[in-house]
Amino acid sequence: MKSVFDFFHKATSFPFRFLTNKKRIIVIFIAIVVFIIIVFVQRGVKSEYVTTKVIRSDIVEIVDESGIVKISGQTHIYSPTTGIIEELYVGNGDYVEIGDELLKVRSTATEQETQIALANYLSAKTALDSAQSMELSLQADMFGKWDVFRTLATNDMYEDSDGNPRYDNRSVPEFHIAEKEWLASESKYKSQKQSIAQAQALVASAWAQYQSTKNTVVKSTSLGVVSNLSVSQGDTVLLHTANTLEKSKPIMIIADFSDKEAVLSLGENDITKVRANNKASIIIESLGNKKFEGYVTRVDDVGHDDRGVMRYDVFVKIISPDEGIRTGMSADVVITTSAVRNVLSVPNSSVKSFKGGKAVQYVNTDGKLDFLPITIGKKGQKMTEVLTGLTEGQEIVTSLTDAQSTKSTLPGF
C-alpha cells in the first residue's frame, strides 16, 4: 500500500504543490480508492459470455394454445308449445334414450286460437294439393310439346335417313317455334317443383303452429344424461321457434358427458403443422393443473376472422376425462406435431434473427462476438434443430454473463 501511496504522491506532487498537505492527502486518498475499484472490477471480469457446444439430441415440435372444454355431443330441449308444465318426468343426472318422455305441457292457447291455427293448416294443405296438381298438368303439357317437336325434328325435311340433322332446313321459323314451345313448357314444369317445395314448407309451419295450441308430451331426441334443467312443475314455458332460437333458454340439455373435448383456435403459422391424430396433453387449471392425455380429432379447413386475424379451430378429444371437467372450463393444450431424432441442435436462446434469416453468435479470434448464419429445422420447447451452418462440438454463445451485461450499460464501454 505504501508503494501505491508513493506513486500517487509523486504523480500528483506537481499539480497539487500549491495545496495544503491536508487537502493533498484527501485527493490522493480518493485516487487510491478509484484505483482499487478499477483493479477489482478488472479482476472480476473473467468471462464475458456463456457458451455451449453444438450437440445431437431429439427434438419434439409442439404447438401450444389455450382453449375451452366442450361436450362434443349435446342436445338442447325446448318446448313445442306455450303452456304450463303439468308433469316433469326427469331430473338432472338421469340417463335417457331416444323417445323417452321428458315432460308434459298443457297448452294455454284459447279455443279460438286453436281453430285459427287449424284453418291456416287446412288452407296451406289445399295450396299444396293445388300446386301438386298443377305439376301434373305442366308435365303433361311438356310431354305433348316434346312429342310435337320430336316428330317434326325427325321427319325427312329436318333429318336425313342416317339420323343426321339437316341444319340448313332447321333454320326456318316452323322448326324453332316448336323447339321453343317445348323448352318453355319444360321450364314451367321445373319451376313448379320449387313452388311445391315452398307449399310443403308452409304446410309444415302451419301444422307446427296448430300443434303448438295443443297439449303435448316432449320426448328425447337423443341419448345421454340430463343436465341444466331450468324448469319445475307448474312453470310456464314458451313456444320455441327459429326466430327465438338465440334468445330462448333450453328447458334442459341432454349430453354424453363421457365424450369431452378441448376446442382451441390457431393462427396461420401453427395450423399448417397440426394434423388429425396428433397426440396432445391438456391441463385444466381449475382442477389444480391436472393433466389429461388426448389427441386431435379434426382440424378446420376454413378459418374465421378474429379482429382482422384468421384463426382455425382445432378439436382435441380428452382421453379418460374425470367428472370434475365441465363444459366452458379453460384448458391449456400442447399438441405434439412432429419429432426428429439425433439431430444437430442448439438451445433456443442462442438462435438470433440475422439479415432476414437465422444465426448464432460465437467469439472470434479477437475476443469479440460475431454472427454465424444457420438454417434451422424443427423447434422444440428447449432446443432447435440446425440443418446447415454448424458442426457437432462447435462452441457458440448462448447469453452474456452478468458482468458483461453490467459492463455494456456503463457509459464509455
Look at residue 65 and tell me whether its pLDDT is greater than 60: yes
Q: Is residue 133 part of a domain?
A: yes
Q: What CATH number is given to the structural domain containing 317? A: 2.40.30.170
Q: Is residue 329 part of a domain?
A: yes
Q: Are 203 and 124 in contact (CB under 8 A)?
A: yes
Mean pLDDT over the full length of the chain = 86
Calculate ∠ Cα 85-217-207, nearest 5°: 110
Q: Are 343 and 383 in contact (CB under 8 A)?
A: no
- Is the same domain home to 367 and 352? yes
- Is the same domain home to 16 and 138? no
Ramachandran angles phi, psi of 270, nearest 5°: -80, -35
Q: Are 225 and 82 in contact (CB under 8 A)?
A: no
Q: Is residue 413 part of a domain?
A: no
Is 91 buried (19+), middle (13-18) or exposed (0-12) by CB count in 10 A?
exposed
- Is the same domain home to 226 and 349? no
- Is the same domain home to 94 and 223? yes
Q: Is residue 401 part of a domain?
A: yes
The more confident residue out of 53 and 41 is 53
Share above pLDDT 70 across residues of the chain, in percent, rounded to a whole number: 84
Among the residue ranges 34-48, 160-174, 270-284, 317-331, the one predicted with the least confidence is 34-48
Look at residue 111 and tell me whether its pLDDT is greater than 60: yes
Share above pLDDT 90 across residues of the chain, in percent, rounded to a whole number: 62
- Is the same domain home to 187 and 234? no
Q: What CATH number is given to the structural domain containing 347? A: 2.40.420.20
How many domains does the structure of the chain reveal?
Answer: 5
- pTM greater than 0.85: no
Q: Is residue 182 part of a domain?
A: yes
Do you know the residue count of the chain? Answer: 413
Q: Are 121 and 201 in contact (CB under 8 A)?
A: no
Predicted confidence band of residue 404 (pLDDT cuts 50, 70, 90): very low
pLDDT in tens, 193-218: 999 999 999 999 899 899 889 999 99
- Is the same domain home to 235 and 92? yes
Q: Summarize the confidence of residues 23-34 as an average pLDDT.
A: 68
Residue bearing cell 427434438? 59
Q: Select the highest-mean-pLDDT range: 42-51, 165-174, 268-277.
A: 268-277
- Is the same domain home to 322 and 229? no
* Spatial CA neighbour of 218 closest among 94, 90, 110: 90
Q: What is the pLDDT, as a whole number, of residue 168?
A: 83
pLDDT in tens, 260-290: 999 999 999 899 999 999 999 999 999 999 9
Give the CA count within 13 Å in the CB-facing half-sphere of 360.
31
Cell readout for 154 is 325427325
Q: What is the pLDDT, as a whole number, of residue 411?
A: 35
Q: What is the pLDDT, as a whole number, of residue 259?
A: 86
Q: What CATH number is given to the structural domain containing 237? A: 2.40.50.100
Look at residue 19 and tell me whether its pLDDT is greater than 90: no
Q: Is residue 200 part of a domain?
A: yes
Q: Is residue 86 part of a domain?
A: yes
Q: Summarize the confidence of residues 58-75 as an average pLDDT.
A: 89
Predicted confidence band of residue 410 (pLDDT cuts 50, 70, 90): very low
- Is the same domain home to 295 and 158? no
Q: What is the pLDDT, as a whole number, of residue 10?
A: 53
Long-range contacts, 287-296 (Cβ 8 Å, 24+) = 287/322, 287/324, 287/325, 287/329, 290/322, 290/324, 292/318, 292/319, 292/320, 292/321, 292/325, 293/318, 293/319, 293/320, 294/261, 294/262, 294/318, 294/319, 294/333, 295/319, 296/335
- Is the same domain home to 333 and 205? no
Buried b / exposed e along 392-412 (16+ C-beta atoms within 10 A):
eebebbbebeeebeeeeeeee
- How far is Cα 302 from Cα 63, in angstroms, rounded to an integer? 19
Domain boundary among 291, 314, 339: 339
- Is the same domain home to 268 and 228? no
Q: Summarize the confidence of residues 221-238 as an average pLDDT.
A: 92
Q: What is the pLDDT, as a whole number, of residue 171?
A: 85
- How far is Cα 202 from Cα 123, in angstroms, rounded to an integer? 10
- Is the same domain home to 117 and 194? yes
CA distances from 404 to 46, 195, 346, 407 (A): 10, 83, 22, 5
Q: Which domain holds residue 138?
A: 110-211
* Spatial CA neighbour of 233 closest among 44, 86, 14, 27: 86
- Is the same domain home to 155 and 285? no
Q: What is the pLDDT, as a whole number, of residue 9?
A: 53
Predicted confidence band of residue 17 (pLDDT cuts 50, 70, 90): low
Among the residue ranges 24-38, 169-183, 395-409, the one predicted with the least confidence is 395-409
- How far is Cα 180 from Cα 187, in angstroms, rounded to an integer? 10
pLDDT in tens, 324-376: 899 899 999 999 998 899 999 999 999 999 998 999 999 998 888 999 999 99
Q: Is residue 32 part of a domain?
A: yes
* Spatial CA neighbour of 358 closest among 389, 322, 396: 389
Predicted confidence band of residue 13 (pLDDT cuts 50, 70, 90): low
